[in-house]
């Protein structure tokens, strides 16, 4: 083992932070890490908005339904960003829309997600805590309006950072034999049977975390989240297209 792996294996989500600010030199180092994240075709089609304005923070927290987000020392919004590429094409006398296709959107989305994880690993290695949030996608139009995102951009994830103000338990993960396979896809005869031990671990985790107020397990979370059709993000494809992306080849 080494220190980097130790940090990654001890990852836990931090929702409450101390009020101490992150020193600017440390923050800029994290941004340097973000800039050196692998990027599809070298286009660098993801960007970061550092949200410092408290009114904007509170609006984004309201959109995501997570009020504690507004209290974090650092609040970052990671976005697909093809506006830069479109502007370059336009300056060259070319059609800017060529930069905003289903392919480039997917590349930008992937770039943004990779940037988030790179920053999280670096931040945790420096003793900081982090929380990755995706609830802004419940209302992307609200985010776009609040931040003033131009055409050919789209919100992907939020990331809050700071010095941990809590020390939560590490959340159990599914045994890797269910997710790491060799040569072909493998599945048990019954997941409900095969995951009984993991369900018991999760039940204990939630019982301790919520002081007996919540009894839950992994397979029940699948039922609650995926057992019925959700319309909350039914319009997201339209929202993406309204930002100038051609989502149909």
**Does residue 248 sit within a domain?**
no
**Does residue 191 sit within a domain?**
yes
pLDDT < 50 regions, the chain: none
Token pair recorded at residue 186: 């493998």
- Domain coverage including residue 103: 3-168
Contacts of 237 (CB under 8 A, 6+ apart): 247
Question: What's the confidence (pLDDT) of residue 32?
Answer: 99
CB 243 within 8 A of CB 152: yes
Reported as type and span, the H/E element at residue 236 is helix 236-242
Reported as type and span, the H/E element at residue 89 is helix 83-91
Q: Specify the number of domains making up the chain.
A: 2
Domain boundary among 168, 197, 223: 168
Question: What's the confidence (pLDDT) of residue 212?
Answer: 56
CB 133 within 8 A of CB 64: yes
Q: Are residues 54 and 127 in the same domain?
A: yes
**Does residue 249 sit within a domain?**
no
**Is the pTM value of this prediction over 0.75?**
yes
């Amino acid at each position: 083992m080494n220190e980097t792996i130790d940090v990654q294996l001890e990852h836990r989500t931090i929702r409450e932070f101390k009020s101490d600010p992150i020193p600017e030199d440390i923050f800029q180092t994290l941004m340097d890490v973000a800039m050196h994240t692998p990027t599809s075709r070298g286009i660098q089609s993801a960007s970061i908005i550092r949200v410092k304005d408290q009114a904007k923070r509170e609006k984004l927290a309201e959109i995501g339904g997570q009020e504690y987000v507004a209290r974090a020392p650092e609040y970052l919004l990671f976005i697909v960003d093809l506006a830069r590429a479109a502007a370059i094409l336009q300056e060259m006398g070319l059609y800017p829309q060529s930069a905003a296709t289903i392919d480039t959107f997917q590349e930008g989305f992937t770039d943004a997600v990779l940037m988030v994880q790179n920053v999280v690993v670096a931040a945790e290695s420096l003793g900081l805590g982090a929380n990755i949030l995706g609830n802004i996608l419940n209302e992307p139009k609200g985010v776009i309006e609040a931040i003033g995102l131009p055409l050919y951009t789209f919100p992907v994830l939020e990331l809050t950072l700071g010095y941990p103000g809590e020390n939560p338990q590490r959340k159990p993960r599914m045994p890797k034999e269910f997710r790491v396979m060799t040569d072909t896809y493998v599945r048990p005869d019954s997941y409900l049977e095969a995951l009984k031990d993991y369900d018991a671990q999760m039940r204990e985790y939630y019982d301790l975390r919520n002081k007996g107020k919540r009894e839950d397990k992994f397979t029940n979370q699948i039922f609650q989240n995926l057992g019925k059709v959700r319309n909350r993000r039914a319009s997201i494809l339209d929202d993406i297209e309204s930002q100038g992306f051609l989502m149909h080849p």
